[in-house]
A and B are shown apart, each in its own frame.
Chain A
Amino acid sequence: MFPTKLRLYNLRRAVILLHIATFSVFGQHLSSVRGSALGAFTALSDDIGSIDWNPAGLVSIRDWDLTSSIYGSFRRDVPLKGLSLYTAGTAKRFLDVHVIAGNYSPGLDLEFVVPSSFQFPDGGPKIDYDKRITYREQYALGYGYQITPTVGLGLSARFREQLITDAQFVADLGTTGSIKTSTYTANGWNIDIGLNWKPSSEWSFGVVAKNLFRLTESELPEGVLEYGLRNVKTLRVGAAYQASSMTTVAMDFDTQAMGGAGTEWNLGDRWALRQGILFGGHSTQFVAGISAGVGFAFGPAKLNFSYIHFLNESSRSQPTLDAFLDRGVQDLGYNAFTPSQLNLSASFSLGRTRETVAKIEYVQILSEVYPSSYQVHAARPLGKARVRNVSAKPISVKVSFFVEQYMDSPTESPRAVYLEPNTETDVPFYAIFNEAIRFVPSMVLRAADVFVKASPAEDYDDKSQTRLIIRGRNDWDGDALTLRYFVTSADADVMRFTRNVMSQYKDTIAAVAKQLEKFRSARLLFNEFASRLTYVNDPKASKDRVQFPTETLALRGGDCDDMTVCFSSLLASIGINTAFIDVIPPQRLDDAHIFMMFDTEVPASQTSIISDNPKRYIIRKNERGEETIWIPVETTAITDGFQKAWELGAKEYFDDVEVGLGIVRGWVRLVDVMPQ
């Protein structure tokens, strides 16, 4: 019935005034209250409201995001019905670069009511009947993809429903009649595609193609098509500029000559004030309205208020049919009939409650962990993480490292590393292990976590897992520098040994001149050491494995490394400084060897009380700048006593260092075990 020309004519004639009686009141892009206060949000959209504003803005969501907004309207002719749910939505980030979002908007429901009446002739009764045009956009889905740290792409689909109810009075013989109702529906998905780009910390740009595609389920019939929603392809562009840490200005404009501009002032971390101006939109004036708003953030929660006041309120609330047909409705949120309104929204970001600004590109472990020298990793990097600043602002990052069981808590890098936007750098990380690592019997493989966070954040921005090899407690990396960590002068067995010897020879030591005390004590200790222990030359068994002094004393012997470490420990326990002489002859790695020397603390000016032959000692300057005499000792010559061990040590030192120039050429290295 409805599509015929005659009936359409009747309908037009009957409608004198198109009166908008909204069960609900609709604002400009109410899907984001922040956006409605600003008037321009295409470049700044960063919440679920992005589904409508610019789906590319979804990429700003870091994890879970829940948003709900309620609304109320201020209309002189419509009493405030209280606050009602306008929209509720959720979004989730996954696989680092993807975001999906869904929105349910019961409030996005626009209804035009056409009041009509039929007056029976001759004073007969008057029959009222309404015709209704209803638009809904209750369901929307969105997807965002982070192409690069500064570029995001988004796609949204909005389900638009149109329902036109035509009520027709049918008179019967001029005295009675009935109302016959016909309903026409049309549904479809409108697809928008958006892009945003944040080239610097100050600038951001957005562009969105609205209604780019349309997937229709049903269309309105020909006769009522003009009452349907407009689906004009529209391109909207937006730009925002952060003029200072406090002030941001934004502007939008589209191909329908609609747009807005606004400013946001951030008052500290929690409060924000907003102001905007709206223009175009088939309004009778270029400036359609003004807006203002307040934002408050506390932890993961955000509250936003906005108020929009339209200057030509009457043309919005009481349009004529011609005006309605002329302007039409394209956007349910913001159109020529949107009234002034107050909006309130609350949102909660769950899970990761803040934006990730630093990402770990990869992690590199620089060394295995040797339990004997586990302390070094507190000061020497265990590895490094390549970290990228994915934000538009400079950041300072710290990297933490943690491995279960062998660490009590993550160890954070001591210094923050500064990173400009979109740059990357290697950040070293350290590890403070607990005592448990000292008892690892043999090599194990453990998963370790590396975290990065931008200070002063409380939570980490990114996490990466890596593999860590922890060697057995007796394993040694072959580096003389780490051999010194096997020197355990405080060990009870070591202390017992030296105290016994010192006690046994206390009369001998008491008779020695003061400046020779350390020299004689070392000699006595060595001879006693020689009498109780045996040198075992077993390269295969000893390669990369070192006994702790307590083990060497218990086993009554060891190889070159074991004996050197043990004798160094014994000397250290009575306050004698020692150093390893690490010899790695070039091209003859099989001849690599370690022996040791100790400090007699005899001044260099008194060499004659030690020896007349300068080849038998080494003069070294201590930390106080005083030169003292050091005695080289070959601990593997243990069976021949101190004198022979000294001779051999002196000869090796002379050959390797004085004649072979090993130190100056870098193949002989002195490693001080206990510098004081």
Chain B
Amino acid sequence: MLSLLVLPLLASDFAVKAVKGSVEVRRGVMEEWKKVKIGDLLKPEDSMRTGPGASATIEIDKRKLVVPELTILDISDVRQLTQEDFLLKLAMENILAVPPREKDELAIPSATVLHGDNKSKTDLPVSSDGRVGEMQLHGARVLYDNSYFATSILKSKETLRTHPEVRSNYDARFTVAMAFEKMKLTKEAITEYSLLSKEDLPAPQAKKVQSALDKLKQGK
């Protein structure tokens, strides 16, 4: 089923053309990362990870893409989306949300509605590896630099949402705003810049944001 679905979207697999340092690949939904070597083929469901000082070059249809150090790149993101698909994917957070029970729809009876809480138990302490979020944001930046603006925005937003530790990464949010601008989605770009302008940004960044915002508003 996979190949049939993916073919129209991704013409073929990526080939690894160059590897420097620790470069790994995670196949599909597997947990483990494996070393990658030149000549390996990467499928859309795969992810690539580069270690400190490492880099890799992958190629598809004679178009090369360089993955810098400390980056996680999902191969499925290396593609263009139509604006309609992109906007719908952008709304996926809401699309996926559990819908409220319809008022006029009958409820399926639930045998076990668990009331109360098991006080005898405690939560497992969660140690989050902050590097993962940063590496995914680097991946989003790679997408932006290679003009995959739609998937860059989607990846950045997802990472910022699921990795609270990187939410103060204003560069990533700035990249999102710029990507919207590149996609000529002015309204969305203004929204992103406006949200950024309300943050406690360093002076140079604040100036950059304000400048971009003014420019967009004038052009509107």
Interface residues of A (CB under 8 A from B): 375-376, 378-380, 484-485, 487, 489-491, 494-495, 513-517, 572-575, 577, 579, 585, 588, 591, 599, 604-609, 611-616, 618-623, 627, 647, 650-652, 654-656, 658-665, 670, 672-676
Contact = CB atoms under 8 A, between A and B. Distances in A.
A609 B93 CA distance: 22
A614 B77 CA distance: 14
B45 A613 contact: no
A672 B101 CA distance: 10
Contacts of B105: 376, 379-380
B31 A659 contact: no
Interface residues of B, number: 54
Interface in B1-42: 1-2, 4-6, 9-10, 26, 28-31
Interface string B89-119: 1001111111111101110111111100010
B101 A675 contact: yes
A588 B4 contact: yes
Contact of B99 (A591, A614, A672): A672
B106 A494 contact: no
B139 to A, nearest CB: 12
A508 B162 CA distance: 30
B83 to A, nearest CB: 12
Given A575-B110, A605-B162, A651-B29, A659 B5 contact: yes
Contact of B85 (A517, A665, A672): A665
Interface of B: 1-2, 4-6, 9-10, 26, 28-31, 44-45, 47, 76, 81, 85, 88-89, 92-102, 104-106, 108-114, 118, 121-124, 126-129, 132, 161-162, 164
Q: List the 10 closest A-B pairs by CB distance, nearest first.
A: A513-B124, A664-B88, A490-B111, A660-B5, A514-B121, A621-B97, A575-B114, A650-B29, A489-B111, A379-B104
A334 B118 CA distance: 95
Contacts of A575: 110, 112-114
B80 to A, nearest CB: 12
A516 B124 contact: yes
Contacts of A627: 161-162
A496 B149 CA distance: 53
Contacts of A607: 162
Nearest to A617: B29
Contact of A655 (B1, B102, B126): B1
B132 A651 contact: no
A517 B92 contact: no
Nearest to B136: A614
A620 B96 contact: yes
A573 B111 contact: yes
Nearest to B91: A664
A609 B124 contact: yes
A494 B111 contact: yes
Contact of A674 (B47, B102, B106, B110): B110
A494 B112 CA distance: 11
30 contacts: A513-B122, A515-B124, A572-B108, A572-B111, A572-B112, A573-B111, A574-B112, A588-B4, A604-B162, A605-B162, A606-B126, A611-B31, A612-B31, A613-B31, A615-B45, A616-B29, A621-B94, A621-B98, A622-B97, A647-B30, A650-B29, A651-B28, A652-B1, A655-B2, A659-B44, A659-B76, A661-B89, A662-B5, A663-B95, A664-B92
Contacts of B101: 623, 675
A654 B28 CA distance: 9
Contacts of B99: 672, 675
B45 to A, nearest CB: 6
Contacts of A585: 1, 4-5
Contact of B1 (A379, A591, A664, A674): A591
A18 B134 CA distance: 124
Query: Which of B31, B89, B111, B162 has the largest number of chain A CB atoms within 10 A?
Result: B111
B151 to A, nearest CB: 11
B98 A514 contact: no
A594 to B, nearest CB: 14
Contact of A605 (B45, B106, B164): B164
B9 A659 contact: yes
B162 A614 contact: yes
Nearest to B30: A613
A515 B117 CA distance: 11
Nearest to A375: B106
A513 B125 CA distance: 9
Nearest to B164: A605
A675 B100 contact: yes
Contacts of A672: 98-99
Nearest to A670: B96
B112 A622 contact: no
Contacts of A599: 98
B81 to A, nearest CB: 8
Contacts of B93: 621
B26 to A, nearest CB: 6
A508 B198 CA distance: 49
Contacts of A654: 28-29, 45, 76
Contacts of B89: 661, 664
A511 B74 CA distance: 36
A485 B108 contact: yes
Nearest to B128: A608
A380 B89 CA distance: 30
Contact of B106 (A378, A609, A612, A620): A378
Contacts of A650: 29
A651 B44 CA distance: 12
Query: Which of A572, A611, A618, A655 has the largest number of chain B CB atoms within 10 A?
Result: A655
A76 B84 CA distance: 97
Contacts of B112: 489, 572-575
A637 B195 CA distance: 46
B106 A376 contact: yes
B126 A604 contact: no
A577 B98 CA distance: 10
A613 to B, nearest CB: 6
A613 B29 contact: yes
A599 B89 CA distance: 21
Contact of B92 (A376, A577, A623, A663): A663
Contacts of B113: 575, 676
Nearest to B46: A615
A12 B79 CA distance: 120
Contacts of A616: 29, 31
Nearest to B8: A660
Contacts of B95: 663-664
Given A490-B111, A513-B121, A611-B31, A623 B45 contact: no
A495 B96 contact: no
B57 to A, nearest CB: 23
A489 B109 contact: yes
A655 B96 CA distance: 16
Contact of B9 (A379, A489, A660, A676): A660
Contacts of B121: 513-514, 517
